[in-house]
Structure 1
Amino acid sequence: MKKIILLSFLMLVSAEAYGRQYTVHEGETLFRIAENELGKSSRWKEIADLNRISEPYVIKTGQLLILPDNDSKRSNVSGVVNLETDSSYAREITSIYSNVNVPQDKVKTNTVASIDSVPYVPQDEMQTTAVSISELLKPSYDGYAPQELSELNLEKAVQIALNNAPEVRAALANIESVKGYVGQAWSTALPQINATADIKRNETYRSYSIFSTDASTVRSAGVTVTQPIWSFGRISHSLEAARQEEAAALTQLADAKLNLRFRVESSFLKYLLAKEKLEVAKEAYLVAERLLKRAKVREAVGAGTRFDVTRSEAEDASASARLVAARAELDVSREELTSAMGFSSSTWIEPQGNILIDFSNLLPVSAQSTEKIAEEERPDLITLRHKIKSSEELISYERSKSYPSIDAIGNFNYSYSDFSFENSGSSNFYTGHENVTGFAGVTVSIPIFDGFRARETVRSRRAATDALKAQYDRSKLDAIKEVRRIYMALSAALSAIAARKEGVRSAGEALQMAEVSFEAGRATSLDVIQASLALTDARISEAEVEYQFRLGLAQLVKASGTDFVLKGGKTE
């Protein structure tokens, strides 16, 4: 049986041994920092490697970097390697601090290894640093962390996500785009003003005349104003359709925020669950350690057997493995929450809270009330209603194109012409003239035949409207089904919470009795191990069922479109 390799490397290093700290300023890049701070722009890759920055090598304002020294000295530094293993193969451990080769023979405790690649460290600034195999595989948390990420609770995490997440910014951009459609619809109701200006010069050569060349220049300018008077609802239908699209875009923003809130809340609850599992794993590991010590003591005094010790060692190793797995699960859930909030996964956060809380003030209203609330408040249903109205207005708009339109029009035009003769004997009796014209009136445009374009467009619009109505009916049925499913899950979880709490209490008492009996010699180590595993399973089951209940409440808010369901329902 192979034992777990434990490597503790005692080495004297400090931050000044390999570099210095530097805060990134606005607009700086790795290339510019290397050029300004190190004197060589080619050393930017060295900065990136030292701070574990990978492609596309992006840094943020305020980020803390470690810059290498220009004159780093190297010397031989001895370190103490504590290693316990039954393996016969060599293992090499490499980091920016050391390059340690473990020989194939079994290494004894306090073996001294010489290390050549450690930077020079002044004696008065030396401190201890621990290096382990698993740490070399972990990704770094060197992302820029804003100050507001400290003391992070659920509501604070949701608010930060709403201000930072890309999906909210995309929804806001969509609103601005739709507002442009409203402006375009308004523009058709406003006067249209066009101005024109022109200059023409004509030259005429006359071979039979006493004048060799005639030249004329015509300058003209004009303004035309057109004002729609009546279009049989064409403008109003277009404007109303654009307004309904704008309202749909606003509800899409609300839907994006609702989905983002659920994503952040579910990730936050998942982190709290992983945190509780880690606490359970820590306590189970302490129980295993305590059991192993007692088994060794009992064996030493002749009251126990070697079999109890071996079995306790196996349980201790299993508890250690479960502890490592729980820590890994916590790290994964932390990064999932960080990403949901709109930050890089390398940003370190430390959420606060507990998965085990009092649910007496979190019970929702009845399922029937929630179904009615969901039909009124769900953003996706509201969006579909606005889109149906917009499509109906577009049908009326296309119909109006088949009706006459009446516009008022006015025009003012001024032109000036002059004539010149290049021959010295030219006449000066007629050198040019000017002309001013203008008119105002009403124009009537009557469509006669458009090749059935309007009829086919109306038919297409009707089909699109029918499809939206069918989609709305299906979405409403799915919403009711989702609400009822969540209530069933909440009912089951709420019923299980009391049973899980009782199971934790009973398992805790059983473990205490098993430990006392083992100490007195009336029970074996297997009894203690089984009681400890039962308590671990009971505590994890309790945390999971409470997580399911709180997650169900978050799902209910998302399914109903509002948190009114947790506050006594919508006020009529």
Structure 2
Amino acid sequence: MKGQQLFHSFLPGVTAAVLTTQPAWAGTFKANDLKLVSSPVVSTATNPKVSVVENNWQLAATTVDHAPLFDYQLDFGQAVLPELPSSSPLPVVNGANVPSPTKLKTVLSLSPVNPKVISGKTYNQVAQITLPQDNPSGIAQTNSQSVNPTSDSPQTILERFKPNPNFLDVPQDSQGVKVQTTEAISLEQALELAKQNNNDLQVAVLQLQRSQSSLREAQAALLPSLNVLGGVTRSRSSSATLQERQTAKRLNIPSENPDATSVFDSQAELRYDLYTSGRRTAAIKEAEEQVRLQQFEVERQSEEIRLNVATEYYGLQQSDESVRIARSAVENSQASLRDAQALERAGVGTKFDVLRSQVNLANSQQELTDALSQQAIARRRLSLRLNLPQSVSITASDPVQLAGLWKSSLEDSIVLAYENRAELQQKLAERNIREQQRKQALATLGPQISFIARYDLLDQFNDGVAINDGYSVGLRASMNLYDGGASRARAARAKTEIAIAETEFAERRNQVRFQVEEAYSSHLANLENVQTAATALDQAKESLRLARLRFQAGVGTQTDVINAQSELTRSEANRVRAILNYNLALTRLQRYVTSRAVQKS
């Protein structure tokens, strides 16, 4: 083989490795000095700046820009973050120059409210191989369901995805539960769907309406009550009939039934409680606090739904990225298998390398199958959360990118949470309710003074007399002197419940602080992990490129290529995980501080 040079002598789509035993060549062979030769099979990264040659590694890749361009937006309804003065994108850092988290604030930039996603450069993706038409691995391709991307407004989505109004409807055949369409929706659309369709939120709204009705009922005690009673009666008394018959018998004359009389009578009564010992005022304040309690419950449910929907949406993005990464791993494994088979046919490879490549491909295919299963589960989980029709499935349309930046310090975040958390306000409302109940219990022992006015009308038909009327005006006072201690017992129970509410408030306050601290620490750690993962991904791509160069040139092993592929897959997964974990931490931080506080800041 001395002096032999093989150029494009293998199967179509495979470029021959450059082999030589001449000392001059062996001493000066450098990957960086090679020139790229075109080939029928070229693997290209999803980022258009990345170019990875599958088998034609006769020169090193040109300068590769792996920089992910993130568009930072806070996609959470009312949550609005102020803009930063800088609008520079987040560059991929080199391994020797990783900015510290303190300097990161000057690197990251936050776009204005409702920003547009930058197309084509949204985020780094693992290099994906362009496969040939045949399937040399012999592994069946996975069928995927078509997804209909949608650019509909949230209002259009709300109208299309309304749940079945008949809550008792149960499908009776397979067509009723078959998924017929898959729609791609954004996080904003998912949040709007949750507000419209979520049953827990609807129940909380109905309970608020019930409390408002109870408040109007309590406020009605501030006004007097007016009752009107009237009727017409026609009667003949049995005593008059008996008397008429006795008189007729005594006089020995025929008896006749007395005439029946028709009478109209009516009565109007006006009543107003002048003094209730504070019972009326306490009842109204209790109803007002109950309304506040339910308002905070609606807010709490909204925040929980926002957190749950965002968490499951990011979980769906994670599953989508896992499928994409798994597919890239399969394609890279297929490319490595073709390399090994080509080298074996050329007589410079071994059967062992081919077997290793086949095993690696089978493992990658199995991971892809598992990822597809988890993707289907994540889609149905989010559909269940949004209470969508059973014939509709969804997938995420938003790209994987940082959702925004948190501007407040840890201390300011804790104070904002103390001021705005609905759970703390609920505990205060519960305490106030118990206090008003205590006052009502004691008020039953005090005097009650009422004003009463009546007006009567009376008329007997066919008596030749005009309608008669009458009236009465007076004050009525009452006082419960002794009830066996029931009222004071109710007051003591309410006082105990006040102490319980205060203790629960202190416990919830400590929980709020811990939740904010946990989310804040997680968000900082994941923000740094995004930088580290981006650097590791860049290095893993370069490592795989060099490993393939060495293997195709005959100076490396298939094990090096497989290890480099595994590192690339792991690095890409780590980068996606770091971004989504950061988004989750930011979502939790917004939840624990509340969107209302974010908007104020």
Whether the TM-score (by the shorter chain) exceeds 0.5 is yes
Report the equivalent of 1:378. 421
| SS at 1:408 equivalent | strand
Q: How far 1:496 sits from its partner (Å)?
A: 2.5
Q: Aligned pair in 2 of structure 1 residues 225, 340: CA closer, same or farther (>3 Å)?
A: same
Q: Aligned pair in 2 of structure 1 residues 329, 175: CA closer, same or farther (>3 Å)?
A: same
User: Contact (CA 8 Å) 1:216, 1:418: kept in 2 or not?
Assistant: no
| SS at 2:302 equivalent | helix
The reply to whether residue 390 of structure 1 matches residue 433 of structure 2 is yes
Q: Aligned pair in 2 of structure 1 residues 550, 418: CA closer, same or farther (>3 Å)?
A: closer
The match for 1:447 among 473, 480, 485 is: 480
The match for 2:242 among 188, 194, 205 is: 205
| SS at 1:205 equivalent | helix
2:411 corresponds to which letter in structure 1?
Q
User: Contact (CA 8 Å) 1:335, 1:346: kept in 2 or not?
Assistant: no
Report the equivalent of 1:310. 355
Structure richer in strand, relative to its length: 1
1:407 corresponds to which letter in structure 2?
S
Report the equivalent of 1:460. 493
User: Contact (CA 8 Å) 1:418, 1:433: kept in 2 or not?
Assistant: no
Q: What does 1:513-528 align with in structure 2 at a 5 Å threshold?
A: 513-528=546-561
2:475 corresponds to which letter in structure 1?
V
Distance 1:490 1:564 in 2: 18
Q: How far 1:233 sits from its partner (Å)?
A: 2.2
Report the equivalent of 1:156. 189
User: Contact (CA 8 Å) 1:255, 1:380: kept in 2 or not?
Assistant: yes
1:315 corresponds to which letter in structure 2?
N
The reply to whether residue 321 of structure 1 matches residue 402 of structure 2 is no
Q: Deviations over 1:34-76 (max 9, x none)?
A: xxxxxxxxxx97xx34x2x25xxxxxxxxxxxxxxxxxxxxxx
The reply to whether residue 224 of structure 1 matches residue 257 of structure 2 is no
Distance 2:330 2:461 in 1: 106
The match for 1:241 among 286, 306, 316 is: 286
Report the equivalent of 1:369. 412
| SS at 1:209 equivalent | helix
Q: Deviations over 1:326-345 (max 9, x none)?
A: 22222222222222222145
Q: What does 1:544-555 align with in structure 2 at a 5 Å threshold?
A: 544-555=577-588
Report the equivalent of 2:258. 214
Q: What does 1:228-377 align with in structure 2 at a 5 Å threshold?
A: 228-344=273-389, 346-357=391-402, 362-377=405-420
| SS at 1:391 equivalent | helix
| RMSD (Å) for aligned C-alpha atoms | 2.9
| SS at 1:161 equivalent | helix
Report the equivalent of 2:537. 504
Q: Aligned pair in 2 of structure 1 residues 301, 232: CA closer, same or farther (>3 Å)?
A: same
2:442 corresponds to which letter in structure 1?
R
| SS at 1:214 equivalent | coil
2:484 corresponds to which letter in structure 1?
G
The reply to whether residue 408 of structure 1 matches residue 443 of structure 2 is no
Q: Aligned pair in 2 of structure 1 residues 245, 316: CA closer, same or farther (>3 Å)?
A: same
Gaps of 5+ in 1: 10-22, 30-43, 55-139, 420-429
Distance 2:541 2:199 in 1: 47
Report the equivalent of 1:111. none
User: Contact (CA 8 Å) 2:446, 2:479: kept in 1 or not?
Assistant: yes
User: Contact (CA 8 Å) 1:557, 1:563: kept in 2 or not?
Assistant: no
Report the equivalent of 1:107. none
User: Contact (CA 8 Å) 1:229, 1:406: kept in 2 or not?
Assistant: yes
Q: Aligned pair in 2 of structure 1 residues 518, 547: CA closer, same or farther (>3 Å)?
A: same
| SS at 1:303 equivalent | coil
Q: Aligned pair in 2 of structure 1 residues 363, 194: CA closer, same or farther (>3 Å)?
A: closer
Distance 2:361 2:139 in 1: 15
User: Contact (CA 8 Å) 2:225, 2:271: kept in 1 or not?
Assistant: yes
Q: How far 1:494 sits from its partner (Å)?
A: 2.6
Q: Deviations over 1:240-262 (max 9, x none)?
A: 11011101111111111110011
Report the equivalent of 2:575. 542
Q: How far 1:5 sits from its partner (Å)?
A: 7.3
| SS at 2:301 equivalent | helix
Q: How far 1:544 sits from its partner (Å)?
A: 1.2
Q: Deviations over 1:85-134 (max 9, x none)?
A: xxxxxxxxxxxxxxxxxxxxxxxxxxxxxxxxxxxxxxxxxxxxxxxxxx
The reply to whether residue 471 of structure 1 matches residue 509 of structure 2 is no
User: Contact (CA 8 Å) 1:411, 1:440: kept in 2 or not?
Assistant: yes
Report the more deviating stretch, 460-469 or 191-200: 191-200
| SS at 1:349 equivalent | strand
Q: Deviations over 1:302-345 (max 9, x none)?
A: 11111111111111111111122222222222222222222145
User: Contact (CA 8 Å) 2:219, 2:284: kept in 1 or not?
Assistant: yes
Q: How far 1:474 sits from its partner (Å)?
A: 0.7
User: Contact (CA 8 Å) 2:417, 2:597: kept in 1 or not?
Assistant: no
| SS at 1:365 equivalent | coil
User: Contact (CA 8 Å) 1:493, 1:545: kept in 2 or not?
Assistant: yes
Q: Aligned pair in 2 of structure 1 residues 474, 496: CA closer, same or farther (>3 Å)?
A: same
Q: Deviations over 1:485-515 (max 9, x none)?
A: 2222223223323222222122111111111
Report the equivalent of 2:114. none
